[in-house]
Each structure stands twice: as structure tokens, then as C-alpha cells.
Amino acid sequence: MENIWQKVKAALTDFVPDHAYRMWIEPLTLGTIDPNVLQLNCPNAFFRRRVKEHFGELICRELQKLTGNATELKFAVTEGDHGRSNLTEFPEQLPLPNIHCQPHFGRLLRQDYTFDQFVVGKNNEFAYSAALSLAMRKSAQQHSLFLLSKTGMGKSHLSQAIGHQILAESKAERVYYMTAEDFTNEMVSSFKTNSVSKFKDKYHNGCDVLLLEDIHYLSGKERTQIELAHTLDSLYNENKKIIFSSCCSPSDIPKLNENLRSRLTCGLISNIDPPDYKVRVKILKKYARDNGWEVPIEVLEFLASELTQDVRQLKSGLVGVSAKASLLGNPIDIEMAGDVVKNIVRQSESITINTIKKLICKYYNISQKDLVSRSRKQALVRPRQVAIYLARRYTDQPLQAIGKSFNRYHATALHAIGMVEKGIRQGGLIQRHVEYFCKRLDNGDY
């Protein structure tokens, strides 16, 4: 049977990408010897489930080709360090109700942002494999990962999934999940309260895994960049795990300290592309199933063919169809889906930077000339920042083009977006203004 398994593995190299082969096939070991059963041992239940779902049929097919008969294939989970295995079907672990995964410091990890809930396709397969490899410590050389993508592609999901996986294996691991803004605010607070040494000790000596989102927010923040570079040096020297995420590559983030830039690029950088049609269908099927919605396959395929911008737009379309069917009491069909898609696509196509400028100027009673002027008056700065934020949210224009349209460098545009996002999180006037403008834009009332 050992000889047969080696031949099966050799045959699989023709069908399985190299990185996926190293991740999922190589760790499999041959279990109990039986002429009629091929038992493969897996390191854990999660691994077993993934191999069975994604490679089970392929292994069975190659096994049948070699043996000429229906040899039974079993997957077992190795028990402890003794190499023994469970010959029976290993039960899947059920999620505990109302349990949220709390890292030692920082924000809560979203309960649904796990590897099991992530839909894998050609657009994100490498990023997924890299994230899982780091989380399961499969590579002694890989200690950092930089996840790069536009908003709504799943980089936050993968980042938090790493935290979930590490904490699931060892509750003692000190996992810190936060944004770059959180890190900046904590550092500034430590200086104000004369607790800098405590702040440094927390990250230099008390952190095992650092999940740091929105690195581009650090543009222009020289003091924070210097402190973060020192922190990363300490973590790298101790072989700690570091995961970054951003919508900009390190080389494209303006006003970034070269020492920090070099540290961000010393690990693996993985891009997540928009999902193709096949993956979009898989995402919609899973999202509908998870929410208990009965949606005809032709409707899912229609949505997948029309909503191609990002995952958030895709899910928004499905939510819209489900909500409309529920409110009207009508079955979901292509015509209903067409009405929802038409509104989403029309809105995204008709909203331009000039549209946003006109809406902002009318509301704040200022001229477009004032909006793009070099004036630093607060009465103009606030509307300008909100307009830049909305342009980033509602148009496909790159940051450089948005900055240029407001007579600003893209570093200034990044700062404006960060200030508005901060204001939204704090609530108050900025949040109310943004909600008002978003409602107007979503309804086509501009």
C-alpha cells in the first residue's frame, strides 16, 4: 500500500499547484496497512476536513486508476505524539454558542472570520495558503505576511482567521489584533501618561502574534513609524508572527520611513484579487446557506455575472434580493434580482467625483473653487475631507487621482480618509453627516 500511495502522490503533482501540494498533500502519512483500505493520517480535524473536501475525490480517482478496483479511502486524525490514529470518522467540532474569541489586547476577533468560513478561489488561493501556513506554523522561515487588496476582498477575514487558528491551538498565545490607528493612539497616550516603558514592554516582550490592519494609515506619522520599526525588530528577533494588511503596497505608501518600509517588505507579500465568476457563485451559495435563504441557482448565477466589483457588493445584492422578497411576500426570481442589480449598478456607475463635489458644496453652501483651494479654514477642511472619503468609497478612482481632483497629494487624501473614519467611529457630527450623504448617494438623490 505504501508503494501505491507514493504513486498516487506523484500523480497528484499534475493536478495540484505546488504550494497547495506542499500545504495539504505532503503532510499526509499512510496509516494502518490494509490491502483494501488506504488510510491517510492528518495532523488535526481542520486539516482532515479541508483535504477531504478539496482533494478527496481527486485522490480516490487516482487510487482507482492505479489499483483497478474500488479501494476504500479513509482519513484519520493523528492522536498526540504517539503516531496512533483514530480509525473511525473523526467528529467535527461544533462552535460554542455566544463565545467570542478575545485576544489578549486590542479588538475582538469576529466570530465568523475563520478559515472554515473563507471561500477559496484562484483570486485568493495563495494568500489563503500563506495565511494558513503561518497560522499552523508549517514553515519555520515564514514569520510575517503582508495582505494586500482593495477594500472588501477578504484581507481582514484572513488576518483574523490567523488569530482564531492560533488561539484555538493554544489559548496561552498572546495575540494582539488592532489597526495602525489603534497603535498610534496607544503610543501617543503612553507619552501623555509617562508610561512609555510599559507600552514598549507590552509589545517587545508580551506579544506573540501581532495582527496590524490598515498600515497605510501611518503615512506621515514619523514618530509612530519609528516606534513601530523598533517593535517589529524586537518581534522579528524573537521569531514572533506578524501579519499586516493594507490597500496600498509598502512601496506605494507615501511619507513612510525607509526603515519601516524595509521591515514591511522583508516578509511575504500576498495580493488578493477580485473573485472570478466561479468564486462569486461559491460565495453567494455559502452566504445564502449560512443565512438560511432559499435562493434559486439561476438567481445566484445572475447576481454573480452582474455584480463584479467586490465581495461586499456581491453580498449586498443578495441581501437586497432576500429583503425585497421578504417584504413583498413574493418568491425570488430573475426579474426581482434584475431590479436590485439595476439599482446597484446604476448608482455605482453614475456617482463620480464631480457628483460628490456638487452634493458637498450644496449642503455646506460653499463653492467648488473653495472646496479644492489651499485654504485651511475649518469650514472648508471638514467638507473637503468628507468629500475625499466619499470619493474613495463610491468611485473606482485610485487614491492619486482622488487627491489630484482635490488639488492634494495622495498622502493628504489618505490623511483625510483616516480622519473621517476616525470621526465615524467616535460618532457625533461627522458620523451623522456621512450617513446623510451616503443615504443621498445610495438613493440616487444628488
- Where do the structural domains in the chain lie, given as residue ranges? 2-85, 105-271, 277-350, 353-442
Q: How far is CA 49 from CA 76, 269, 423, in A?
A: 10, 27, 43
- CA dist., res. 57 & res. 61, Å (int): 6
Place of cell 503516531: 83
- CA dist., res. 432 & res. 203, Å (int): 36
- CA dist., res. 181 & res. 179, Å (int): 5
Query: Do 105-271 and 353-442 have matching folds?
Result: no
User: Residue 145 — φ and ψ, nearest 5°?
Assistant: -145, 130
Task: Assign a CATH topology to domain 2-85.
Answer: GMP Synthetase; Chain A, domain 3 (3.30.300)
pLDDT beneath 50, residues of the chain = 80-100
For residue 354, give the nearest of 277, 411, 304, 406 by alpha carbon: 406
Q: How far is CA 418 from CA 58, 163, 252, 414, in A?
A: 47, 25, 17, 6
Please give the CATH architecture assigned to the domain spanning 277-350.
Answer: Orthogonal Bundle (1.10)
- The class level of CATH for 353-442 reads mainly alpha
| CATH 3.40.50.300, domain 105-271, yes or no | yes
pTM of this prediction? 0.64
